[in-house]
A and B are shown apart, each in its own frame.
Chain A
């Protein structure tokens, strides 16, 4: 019986010893895994600030930290990341964190500011001319009626544009079509009842309104006036043709989303000419080359 007691005691001891060894601490541990909020669109490194050590072996390399889960900083929301390391005792240690990607911020852009979480236009006039300049300068189908006035005298011509074709008309007889081809510009010049075709030197592109900064204009009454300090941006064109000429009072008017007209004075000697270019037939021009 004593034996029986002895066996029972031994077994009890053994089982106590066994129980003691199973509750002993793991050697690995992880730190720096805390919940965090990151900016929308920012760069997020899951291992940034995360370290792991082993109580026996010392530091565990970050390459040995296994991260499961991903964070998309371009999508706001919460993401759960789990970090796992294995200690020298062979035991795994894990830690988890919640990463919150913040809401996408408002990008109001030029001439806008945020008001109550919404972008609003700061200067409507600037906005109007900016749009009009931009919309008009990309037109490929429109007409310009040009009027030169000098005192009681006036001279009118019409410029029409339809994609690869353009047409200059002044009266019945001064009529020239221009065509862009891969080999250059062809001019179809009216001569009486027929046309002659010439290949003409390409003119270095020049622009009256297309390159102007909308901020250079000031709305005055129902038109926009180009600041005189910026007139030199385009007045070189005039002096190319009229060496003694000068340009001033460059104005534009708007209609719908386009320019309605642009106009300016050209001064040559004692004479002042007013040139007015009025837009018309937007999207409605249909040019066909004349038969030669």
Chain B
């Protein structure tokens, strides 16, 4: 009997240990209305209602946007910005509202159509507009950021979302040929200070005011895009060959100079190449196409709400919030909770509440982005082409922000394989021959053996095609067409052929030409 009693007590104790009354706060979302629409594979859900956070009930309006951006999806994630190519005289990077960012995404990536998006990283709102953390744009580290203690969220081409603290190493010089193939990557030993030995190279930006080291080889680069933040030693430069000399020509505005003993004697950098100087990234974010910074602590980690959340942007005060999350199936989603607008039932949430909301929506991992008046969510109205603002920004207007995350329709540009070694010992392909446009408006030319694809340049705009034909759909006018055979890893690509002029006519003119052609035929031996 005693044994039985002990067994029962142990059993009760054991179950009690597992089912003891929770000490955790409970959290519920009470949906008064919940509307869901799908736009081009993106789900938008708007919930109006309240949250019950351990008995504290607040009224909320929250918007959710989510899409599966896996490798089979035609939806991708892009981190967009609208930074000036070079900071202005006051060091400003440029802040624009979300429409400005969308416009710039379209201008940078004409193969993408923005469908939806939210605001991004925290930023220097009162001055330069520079984001707080690293900003990786199309594989380029535009800045390392003020801190490496905040997690980045990165987006790979295969749809994978990576996150964590970034790891950086020294600066590097990347040289790409005109096909975007990496020719060579070299370590940059110093920024704005002299090489210490014959094997080192240094890069000097236009904020360097002293003389360049004498006698060393100098390659001047005209900057297409430069970002210089002296205060935290952040440098980024992208540009094209301007000149090469051992003389000190002085660094022009927005130029940078690559300096080293016998540098470029191997013609690494030519006039058609693009040069990037950036901080090297290793670890998780190596090879990530887009990344931006988030708040100090994750909201959801590995399928659980971050129970230790105790820091971040006014973490324990209700505010409008924006967060990005990933679900177990790879779906990437954004949530914006409105706030600072109690009369409209938009009280806003704390970070722990936001974490619960992200968990409620199915996040396995989630990160807080800039909130408050920055919180903005947009979705394209396919019919009108307008970008609707789904939430109610608490400033009463759209805030100018630093960057944003966008769901876009389209495919990433393929990253060309790097050339196998430098110096380049590959044989060059011959130029395509016999270029013409047939009667069905198909551009044709002879195949070039060894080519992996062809680059067709029409009025300076490149189209890559796999086969030796391309259906043309050109506006009325004269078009300059040239073609090169691309050699990939095994061959140097051919040069472009000399231009072939192709004219397309207005419809009436086409009809008249047909008539005159027929007249020619009918008038033989007339």
Contact = CB atoms under 8 A, between A and B. Distances in A.
Interface centre among A194, A241, A245 (most CB of B within 10 A): A241
Contacts of A240: 515
Contacts of B446: 192
B519 A206 contact: yes
Given A191-B438, A192-B445, A241-B515, A178 B509 contact: no
Interface stretch (A94-102, A105-113, A217-225, A266-274): A266-274
B522 A204 contact: yes
A185 B524 contact: yes
Interface in A70-91: none
Interface stretch (B41-49, B102-110, B377-385, B429-437): B429-437
Interface residues of B, number: 33
Contact of B524 (A148, A150, A161, A194): A161
Summarize B's interface: helix, strand, loop or mixed: mixed
A241 B511 CA distance: 6
B446 to A, nearest CB: 8
A146 B523 CA distance: 14
A155 B434 contact: no
Contact of A210 (B505, B518, B525, B526): B526
A189 interface: yes
Contacts of B437: 173
Interface stretch (A25-33, A38-46, A164-172, A252-260): A164-172
A212 interface: no
Given A189-B439, A191-B436, A159 B523 contact: yes
Contact of B512 (A167, A190, A241): A241
A187 interface: yes
A200 B439 CA distance: 14
Nearest to B477: A153
Given A168-B516, A170-B513, A241-B514, A163 B436 contact: no
A268 B508 contact: yes
A168 B522 contact: no
B436 A176 contact: no
Interface of B: 433-439, 444-446, 500-503, 505, 508-509, 511-526
Contacts of A237: 515
Contacts of B505: 155
Nearest to A185: B521
A193 B438 CA distance: 12
Given A150-B509, A161-B525, A192-B446, 9 more contacts: A137-B526, A166-B520, A166-B521, A192-B444, A200-B521, A202-B522, A205-B522, A238-B515, A241-B512
B526 A159 contact: no
A191 B444 contact: yes
A241 B518 CA distance: 10
Contact of A140 (B517, B522, B525): B525
A68 interface: no
Contact of B516 (A140, A146, A167): A146
A180 interface: yes
A165 B526 CA distance: 11
B2 to A, nearest CB: 103
A185 B434 CA distance: 26
Interface centre among B435, B438, B520 (most CB of A within 10 A): B520
A70 B478 CA distance: 82
Given A163-B525, A191-B444, A173 B436 contact: yes
A146 B514 CA distance: 13
B521 A275 contact: no
Interface string A189-216: 1111110000010111111101000000
